[in-house]
């Protein structure tokens, strides 16, 4: 896939977990081929941006064993929301599901965006994940939600067969369509992480972008263990030590949930999208410095009304238009602006005036 800044290559890791060796192999290839680092996506993939020589990059990634081949490449996206490791129920179900789907005729006909979420750990990010089929673990067993179907208290075998059945029904259509299954995404209000989203072992990066040196360090820290790729653009590093966290913070990781940059959302903006007229990420970072409390509460800078990075409301959303921004308070990119066509200087002045007003009340 091509973007303004070059080709875009997305890598998938089975079970949403990557071994230390895989990350160590990926790091030099990111340094060599990607100008935009490696971005963690909400589907727990790793995206290389700004790839000038995609064919050479793909050949090198293949040689390193980082590109899925054969029937694995035909399977739909399956995101596992859980700590990494082999023996957890969500991971067993994931392995069994991938094994069964590999034998389903025509599995490659599912729509590109088709997504199965296997939720072993109910974080806010896992709940907010929009998917076609959701398998969630509870004390009563597995819950399956697919479109209007909601089943509870399932054994893992029944959950597995029901999930496969849903996919077979989908494939039985002439042109398979996505299943309209809502996440339990609230219809309003920002998506805040819960304590289980940010633990001692989880780590986020600004806009989810991991530099090549940070990838190499992650690979080194993980060693032979896998690290988890979580749907909130974080990684789960089992047994992460304080000194290792400090090392990764030096390499661009967020300092923690209180880091103002943790509350920022921004699409690639004009660095990588022809629809954008503003440098969304640079502007978001500048505003986080100007008003850290606002950034912590949730600031979204969108390149245009489409809202690729998020559509849900934030305390403040800036929507790029003709080199300036429309400002939406307590809304998403499609909300009603309280200020239109503002330059960054005008945005800062508006924020300062708002803070002064709040201080006098
Ligand atoms: S929100 Fe608009 S500017 Fe940003 S990536 Fe999407 S289409 Fe491009």
Cβ-based neighbour number of residue 182 at 10 Å: 11
306 lines ligand 1 (CB under 6 A): yes
Average pLDDT, the chain: 91
Q: How large a percentage of the chain has pLDDT more than 90? A: 76
Separation between Cα atoms, residue 73 and residue 104, nearest integer Å: 14
8 lines ligand 1 (CB under 6 A): no
Cβ-based neighbour number of residue 122 at 10 Å: 16
290 lines ligand 1 (CB under 6 A): no
- Mean of pLDDT values over 36-49: 92
Closest ligand 1 atom to the C-alpha of 309? Answer: 1
pLDDT grade for 197, boundaries at 50, 70 and 90 = low
Q: How large a percentage of the chain has pLDDT more than 70? A: 93
Pocket test for ligand 1, best of 273, 282, 321 (most atoms within 8 A of CB): 273
pLDDT grade for 225, boundaries at 50, 70 and 90 = confident
Ligand 1 centroid from CA 5, angstroms? 13
Ligand 1 centroid from CA 141, angstroms? 40
Ligand 1 centroid from CA 360, angstroms? 37
User: Above 80 in pLDDT, residue 123?
Assistant: no
- Mean of pLDDT values over 17-41: 94
Kindly state the DSSP code that residue 264 receives in the 8-state scheme.
E
Residues whose CB is less than 8 angstroms from the CB of residue 14 and which lie 6 or more positions away in sequence, other chains included: 68, 72, 98
Helix (H) or strand (E) holding 62: helix 54-63
pLDDT grade for 185, boundaries at 50, 70 and 90 = very low
What is the pLDDT, as a whole number, of residue 67?
96
Pocket test for ligand 1, best of 304, 314, 320 (most atoms within 8 A of CB): 304
304 lines ligand 1 (CB under 6 A): yes
Q: CA-CA distances (angstroms) from residue 131 to 170, 181, 282?
A: 14, 6, 31
User: Above 70 in pLDDT, residue 186?
Assistant: no
User: Are 196 and 317 spatial neighbours (Cβ–Cβ below 8 Å)?
Assistant: no
Ligand 1 centroid from CA 238, angstroms? 34
What is the pLDDT, as a whole number, of residue 305?
96
CA 7 to chain centre: 19
Q: What is the dihedral of CA 51, 54, 57, 59, to 10 degrees?
A: 170
User: Above 90 in pLDDT, residue 357?
Assistant: no
pLDDT grade for 184, boundaries at 50, 70 and 90 = very low
Pairing between strand 264-266 and 46-51?
unpaired
Ligand 1 centroid from CA 302, angstroms? 7
pLDDT grade for 361, boundaries at 50, 70 and 90 = low
User: Above 90 in pLDDT, residue 204?
Assistant: yes
pLDDT grade for 4, boundaries at 50, 70 and 90 = low
Ligand 1 centroid from CA 218, angstroms? 30
User: Above 80 in pLDDT, residue 6?
Assistant: no
Chain segment 86-97, per-residue pLDDT in tens = 788 999 999 999
Chain segment 100-118, per-residue pLDDT in tens = 999 999 999 999 999 999 9
Separation between Cα atoms, residue 361 and residue 31, nearest integer Å: 51
Instruction: Give the lowest-confidence range in 57-66, 179-188, 199-208.
Output: 179-188
Atom 4, ligand 1: which residue's CA is nearest? 303
What is the pLDDT, as a whole number, of residue 144?
96
Ligand 1 centroid from CA 98, angstroms? 33
What is the pLDDT, as a whole number, of residue 257?
81
What the chain holds in terms of domains, given with CATH numbers, is 1-257 (3.90.480.10), 261-360 (3.30.413.10)
**68 or 196, higher pLDDT:** 68
Chain segment 134-171, per-residue pLDDT in tens = 999 999 999 999 999 999 999 999 999 999 999 999 99
């Amino acid at each position: 896939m091509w973007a303004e800044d070059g080709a875009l290559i997305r890598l998938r890791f089975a079970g949403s977990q990557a071994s230390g060796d895989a990350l160590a192999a990926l790091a030099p290839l990111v340094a060599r081929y990607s100008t935009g680092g490696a971005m963690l996506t909400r589907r727990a993939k790793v995206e290389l941006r700004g790839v000038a020589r995609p064919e050479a990059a793909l050949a090198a990634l293949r040689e390193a064993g980082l590109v899925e081949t054969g029937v694995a490449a035909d399977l739909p996206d399956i995101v596992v929301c859980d700590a990494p490791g082999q023996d957890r129920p969500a991971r067993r179900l994931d392995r069994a599901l991938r094994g069964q789907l590999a034998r389903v005729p025509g599995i490659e006909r599912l729509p590109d965006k088709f997504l199965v979420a296997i939720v072993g750990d109910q974080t806010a990010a896992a709940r907010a994940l929009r998917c076609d089929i959701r398998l969630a673990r509870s004390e009563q067993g597995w819950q399956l939600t697919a479109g209007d179907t909601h089943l509870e208290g399932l054994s893992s075998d029944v959950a597995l067969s029901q999930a496969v059945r849903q996919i077979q029904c989908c494939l039985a259509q002439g042109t398979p369509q996505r299943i309209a299954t809502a996440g339990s995404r609230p219809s309003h209000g920002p998506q805040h992480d819960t304590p289980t989203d940010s633990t001692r072992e989880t780590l986020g990066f600004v806009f989810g972008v991991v530099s090549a040196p940070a990838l190499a360090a992650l690979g080194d820290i993980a060693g032979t263990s896998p690290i988890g790729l979580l749907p909130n653009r974080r990684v789960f590093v089992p047994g992460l030590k304080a000194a290792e966290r400090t090392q990764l913070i030096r390499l661009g990781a967020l300092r923690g949930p209180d880091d103002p940059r943790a509350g920022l959302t921004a699409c690639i903006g004009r660095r990588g999208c022809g629809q954008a007229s503003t440098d969304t990420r640079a502007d978001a970072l500048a505003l986080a410095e100007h008003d850290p409390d606002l950034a912590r509460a949730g600031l979204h800078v969108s390149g245009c009304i489409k809202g690729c990075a998020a559509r849900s409301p934030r305390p403040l959303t800036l929507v790029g238009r003709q080199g300036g921004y429309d400002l939406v308070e307590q809304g998403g990119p499609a909300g009603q602006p309280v200020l239109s066509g503002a330059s960054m200087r005008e945005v800062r002045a508006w924020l300062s005036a708002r803070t002064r007003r709040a201080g006098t009340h």
